[in-house]
Structure 1
Amino acid sequence: MKKKVLIMTQNFYPVIGSAGNRMKNIYQLLNEFDIEADVLTTEPAYPNKNLYNDKTFWDDEALNKKTKKIIRVPIKNKKFSNHIVSRLYFYIEIMWRFLIKLWQIRKENYDYIMVSTPPIFIVFSALIGKFFLKSKLILEVRDLWPDSLVGVKTFDNSFILKIFRILEKRMYRLADHIVINSKGFESHIRSKLKKNTPIVYLPNGPRAHEVVRSKKYEGKFRVVYTGNLGLAQDIDHLKLIASALQAEGIRFDVIGYGIKTEEFMRYIDEHQLDQVYMHQPTTRKKSLALIENSNIAVAFLNDADVFSTVLPGKIIDYMTCRTPIVAGIKGTAAQIITNNEAGFVFEQQDIQGMIEKIVELKNNPEKLKRIGENCTRTVQDVFLWENNIKELVQIINE
């Protein structure tokens, strides 16, 4: 008899970013591996709901078909805000609507609820729902919360943070299985557990058809950045990189979204950076095409300790496109880049070192090619979804 799984997530197709793509892949591949997977999610709203009025984002016909397998709950908030009260209301609304829907589908006989965090509030609805659905719980952790909240310096109320940490510990302990997308999370989570709860590493990655296996370096030399422009991404250092690349006459393409996007665009205008090209948020397919058409990709993360445990999805996307990485980053992501010779890692403040390395690589196409080959080999050996999903399939079929 097929196992039946309900995936609960705020981020799902066609939502842009690594979280939405991750949950889409898990949903599709579980079904391909003969597990009956359904999804409970919201209407697409990140970074804002109006973005998805553009049919360009709805580019997967198989997922566009009306089906009872994908349950979307409506939300009143039309824009994702960084204001703490507005965001709290947003999360509580999702939690409440998910709880109502879980009650309505309580007779569906799901063997597992797989819930993705952050945000943690969706987990609360899953923890309650698992009892009246009589399901086991797989907790999928994409970020360490509330440490990440502290890391972006948006919240510092010690009393409420203490409550959040108690809730975090409770969340881990009530899970039957835990899935992580970065090995850097494991020791932190283990320190919160009383029992030996199984923890499975399931990294972000490409599907096999997305991997770029050959690439020609022709035309104007280009550097690219893609993804969130938020509090975790160290926008100030990205500004400095943009100015430094301008001074070197190197084209810099940015596909950015998030709360710091307007600030970055103002900086470009004020400093007349005509070598910096801003692109509107777009589909994964078009984003990967832009990365593939670039010679080097850059990445930054806030230097808070919690972000040293993170493996950003963009790092794997860069390697998927055979594009060498120059990053101001540390910890888990830095180890992946360095150990696999997929690029070069610097201290965040070492903008000059990063620029010098970019110029060096610009003048050494053979070295660029070798690093690109390392990127492809690493992705094929370590990060393909078709291979890694088997870990999750094994858990569910036990």
Structure 2
Amino acid sequence: MSQNKMIYLCNIISDAERDHFYFADSALKKIRGYKKILEENGVDITTLSLSSPKRAFFQKQDGTLTEDAASRMKYYLHRLIFEVARLIRYMAYLTRERKHYTTIMTYSYTTYNVLLACFGHYMLGKKIVLDYEDGLFCNRTRHRYYSFLEKIILKISSGCVLINTGLRKRLPEYMAYTVINGIFLSNGNPACHHKMSGSEKFSILYSGELNFDYGLSLLFQLFSQPGAEQIDFHITGSGDNEEELLEFIQKNPLQNVTFHGYVPLSTLKDLEARTDGFALCQNEDSPIYHTNFPSKLFHYLGSGKPVFFNQCSLFDEYESFENAFPIENMENGVNEILDMLKHREKYCPNVASGIKQHTEDSVRKLKTILFA
């Protein structure tokens, strides 16, 4: 048996769902990224998808129940039977293949994952590594059930893969961990001078959750600063504070801010290709500050274009990238952005070397977590 063979309990998103959700596309890219980069470094990895097709089985496209599941009781009975049968099938697979892998890494935090991880650990004696993807565990008032699952999975895990350094506070002190986000960045160096069609001004794209807890209010500070008329701000997404954003734009009024609303992934990719740079914000005063991390940061860094963000601890370790630019003073942020955009050929001539080093360091730590 290979000493570097593992099973990855993940959640492969269907193509139909990916077309509508940016996070789903990022999740699938991450799964494929894990597989590709680990295989290139001598790891034999098998992905076992735990994505449930129950919606396709029991519901029409409009979300209503099919005729076969018209009865609520019948619907949930069918669903229970289906889920139990699927769980047994996965347990049988893990048992049958137990001689061919040493480690199980579990991706998301459903009951499915915890049950299978416990089965692999207690019944098969396998090493468990937790891929700590998001903040489902971190809000104890809203997600007590996830906090319960967290306690179980951390108890049996020998190591953890994090999306940001803030989440390490939730780990036992003895647990080994690595921050893996960013190891799948492209080695290419796309040009830093693409323009939005029909515009001679610089353009900045902000895409994501329109929520003050995610730092949206920090972005407001840039719109009307002196010099902001030289920048076209393009905003996509939706969220709890979407109305406040629209009201802010209408009241001022701002000719340099375009709100696209929620856009399909294909449209978003087109906007990304034509923008001069990207903006990200994180609110350190938010109660969810350490429960999430903008995975788009690594996607943006890989483009080779300037990436602007407010100074906060979550971004500290990524400031070494040539095209990562923390804004020291948000009240004077526009001048900092303009200076960097005007001299972007100087600031981001080649990001490949930094990406290569970051990748090598991350993979080395990941292999230690998985197989040491």
Normalising by structure 2, we get a TM-score of 0.69
2:114 corresponds to: 124
Distance 1:330 1:372 in 2: 22
Which letter maps to 1:21? K
2:35 corresponds to: 27
Q: CA, structure 1 residues 78+207, in 2 after alignment: closer, same or farther (shift >3 Å)? A: farther
Distance 1:207 1:255 in 2: 23
The equivalences for 1:112-261 within 5 A come to 112-117=103-108, 119=109, 121-130=111-120, 131-132=122-123, 135-147=126-138, 149=139, 155=141, 161=144, 165=147, 167-191=149-173, 196-209=174-187, 211-212=188-189, 214-216=191-193, 219-229=200-210, 232-239=213-220, 241=222, 248=229, 250-256=231-237, 259-260=239-240
Distance 1:95 1:343 in 2: 47
Residue deviations 1:339-389 (CA, integer Å, cap 9, x gap):
867212357xx4x32233234445xx22x223323755433321x3x7744
Match of 2:118, SS state, is: helix
Match 2:297 to one of 315, 319, 327: 315
Q: Is the 8 A contact 2:304 2:323 kept in 1?
A: no
1:19 deviates by 3.1
Distance 1:355 1:229 in 2: 20
2:348 corresponds to: 372
Match of 1:139, SS state, is: strand
Q: Is the 8 A contact 1:182 1:203 kept in 2?
A: yes
1:221 deviates by 1.1
Matched, 1:37 2:46: yes
Matched, 1:354 2:333: yes
Q: CA, structure 1 residues 200+358, in 2 after alignment: closer, same or farther (shift >3 Å)? A: closer
Match of 1:199, SS state, is: strand
Distance 2:226 2:269 in 1: 22
- Number of aligned residue pairs: give it: 336
Distance 2:319 2:166 in 1: 14
Which letter maps to 1:203? N
Match of 2:50, SS state, is: strand
Q: Is the 8 A contact 2:327 2:336 kept in 1?
A: no
Match of 2:107, SS state, is: strand
1:280 deviates by 1.4
Q: Is the 8 A contact 1:113 1:137 kept in 2?
A: yes
Distance 1:143 1:182 in 2: 9
2:73 corresponds to: none
Query: Rg larger in 1 or in 2?
Result: 2
Distance 2:340 2:296 in 1: 20
Distance 2:209 2:338 in 1: 25
Q: CA, structure 1 residues 41+255, in 2 after alignment: closer, same or farther (shift >3 Å)? A: farther
Distance 1:216 1:169 in 2: 48
Match of 1:129, SS state, is: helix
Which letter maps to 1:371? Y
2:281 corresponds to: 300
2:71 corresponds to: none
Gaps of 5+ in 2: 64-75
Distance 1:253 1:106 in 2: 48
Residue deviations 1:285-317 (CA, integer Å, cap 9, x gap):
x75664353223211123236525865322222
1:267 deviates by 4.5
Normalising by structure 1, we get a TM-score of 0.65
Gaps of 5+ in 1: 50-72, 81-88
Distance 2:281 2:83 in 1: 32
Higher relative contact order (Cα pairs below 8 Å, separated by 6+ residues): 2
Distance 2:217 2:189 in 1: 31
1:282 corresponds to: 265
Q: CA, structure 1 residues 231+261, in 2 after alignment: closer, same or farther (shift >3 Å)? A: closer
Q: Is the 8 A contact 1:234 1:302 kept in 2?
A: yes
1:53 corresponds to: none
Which letter maps to 2:117? L
Q: Is the 8 A contact 1:234 1:301 kept in 2?
A: yes
Tell me how large the CA RMSD over aligned residues is.
Answer: 4.4
Distance 2:58 2:242 in 1: 25
